[in-house]
Structure 1
């Protein structure tokens, strides 16, 4: 939220062409990036001030990057935020020296903010500032530190702001008193047409608002709220104001509105229609509601790209207004599709910067890999949980912040592009140093040139129809998710896959020509999810697969695997196991599982089991003791009657026995069973149920003749009235 007149003073009506930025922000990230600096940056952007704020990823190594030096040189104004650990960073000090140099050589305007620090400590380098510089002197020498001290003294004597007296050391966006007092005073003065109010603390401001405005019928717009303290300090209750008053609150975080009571009406801002978008774009580009004929078709393409977002249409319209030829338009638009316009990026990134680290990583994964609708929301949650994220919590936050649509996890194209640009900025030229690769050309460059992708955490080859072999994974020690989904020509995996010690999920679904898994896969000690669905040419699983101690999901449906390796009987975290040619079932959802304490119980955590009995018989399973089992499918088994007692499976809800050609009797059904399915069992004659069994749905399909039909029977067991 913007509250002070100082920001308005930074508005520059026109800048010489040599200035690329209006403002350069110099600050210590760990002190203020997620607090004061974040709020200051947002306020400057809203006021139309083109501001440079570096990404944390740029601050690597000893020497200040050329990108930062260039940004300082191309800025009209520098604002330095002195915080408690500012001088602990050599980067900050080098920025300071460069800023001072630009002031002396190019008359750059330099302003500063003392944020929760004593100005005298900055000017005289005492206290924590002095201690930090003393440590620097041991490492960098007297000459360098003397240069830094001189710069500190000079800059600290320039005009600026002192926020030392902020009662709780925070800013308006986090509930700090300085910004809130300014806003309270602004509300009182603007409403009562006076400048006489002094607000000494937030509580006093609340009392004054209640006292002076309780009889006023007013309209209040509280724009871009990002913390509940802003609502509490300004419009805490509708009864503070006169009858008929209207309060409008806009926010990026819907959670802030949930505590306002049932009589609060909430509306989601909708995007513009295509025709409305074209008109807005045309006004900003051509100063007319319709595009010029020569530019009409390309204007429609650009408008479609903006997807009804007014901010983007306004920025893009202004951008293309200065391009006079259709060739320039095409060239610029091609670039913008890969690298978003900086003004759009900066505004959208405000919402990203407000997220915690875990949710930021979830956002980037969805933006890079899962946006597009080809992966179900259940699979997205599964993959993210398998990577160690708190997926449900993070996704809810993204939905509440309007970064993601709840019903299908759709992400606006520009929001998606913003996420991908954040990843691109991690390393502009060296693709292999990025945390995520999502462009086919970039992935190909890394693989063909045999580059080490040690920074990658997720690598997906989904749908690469021409891929016949996997790359060498040596050096990719940070990889957590690896997917070859739908790589129908893939024949083999490199033995180097065993080097991926942090790999959590391996998805080989629909790799129809994959013949076998390398034995080295048994070295993946962190693997929790192995999906081989529809790998129809795989005939056996590695003998030592049971060494994957953390494995929770093993999906081998529609493979040619005839039995589960004996070693798998010791997988105490495995809760989802499928094997064979049985019916489709709902996808798995990955989560952490705590096994029961008994060290003797094989596969003790199983909840879903789908496999012919003979494929597991050698495991010496105590089937009747699988107390967590909720779904059991023993289709295509050879037994004449189920060779274990089902009655102890108290959690079992569904039992499937399709195509059991020798099955004659079903008995000892568990007490909470909801569905029994036994189709194509020609010898089945008897189903024994016990008193007290719940209402049961039974589907029997016995006769394979043309006039037969499935019988769906609902009945009550014997003994019920």
Structure 2
């Protein structure tokens, strides 16, 4: 019924492959009622503050009953629609036609979210009050079939779970609730879309592992499942794919996910899980937040909790995750990933599944696809490509990085790359040194020094960190990059171009937040190692390591940058007293100090 606020446990069911969305939210509203009020507030909070791509028609005049091609495309290419039903919404034949089109394009009603703004839901459902007045006029101007179509659309939208403005003290509180719920839905949909647009499911190794995970998820006796595999083998992508598949198959009502990493930040983990549950954690202490989170999980049913990148045993109760027995009572499960086999045992997993490296055939197919090239088997470059692929160790992250680096190079450069990777080939397949060489090769093929330096700057941030491009600009200028830019605006544009090229090279990832970028933890490890080999670029990085005191640093190592971001250091050593915890230039033997708490 329309009187209740939508809950985070409401499901989103997508049929078949996920389409490519141009917009995440489409706003349907009556311009004269709400354009300059609550609709603008919703748009601002979604688009500008949350980075949720939102379509809001900027046309002041609504003419005719036919939806324009531009609006029709926007509706078709939107994940969700928020329908702002206001006093004079039904007076506009344009709005009614738009609402009808939304229902035609969005067969899954869970994608349509109604807001009853200063109107009674029953007035919308049965066309009473202002809605009755509006339809009296429509009946004298429109065909019976058209009017019936519009009435049906209003009845449908009134029967959906939505927000009722009279249940809120202020518009601010209402908008906050809308944004919280929409954000949780968008996060869920992004994970599903990301997993279904990847092609890893076509590989034998991933198909086998995914089949085993799905079997374990269907087993009522199994509550905790562990996925083990080398760094860069595709564990994260696989569990996202499995989560989306399990949800679409009806195994779970909700799939939530958090990244744990080498240095777990409990508050960050709690926040990630809470966001996907549309839960606001206002408590300051980890214990208080854990209590609220656990309470919310126990109120739900059939929740799959994915914990990615665990390095050592972690007490799930400290996060707010219920015990195995409690989860079993709610038909919920945990799916975790780790590089270390014994972590599966430490976490009491009842099913342990290994994700193996890709076969040579699958490796070659992925490599050629990402290189955007096709060769006849008889050609010399095809033979060289096979050699290059063999040296990538069956790891998708290495295959993709090298493919992107060599895609536009000539035969001689391919031969040189193959020879270089051959020399560095480790005798032990489990040795991750070949990962370093593959990523280093991609790094060396970057066209500009600014791109190389900007890439290295990204390793200064903690694992899985949303790196603001504005910070890259500040740090870059601080170490002397972008010297050919005359203004900060030019330098900012240069950073954007560099980040774009690094993403195209698969050295950086798409962000979850607007104005940011991310770096895979394997590539981050390689970037730190590269910095130690580069002249004048040695980095000391202990970001997000929960340090309580200033670490011991050998001044003779000649570090140019120190990064101690996201630690708990409350006091600088005496020799650094009086200096900013942000960053300073020319301090003793360090050209840059980055020690942000």
The reply to whether TM is greater than 0.5 is no
Higher RCO (CA-CA < 8 Å; seq separation 6+): 2
More helix by share: 2
Which structure has the larger Rg? Answer: 1
TM-score by length of 2: 0.31
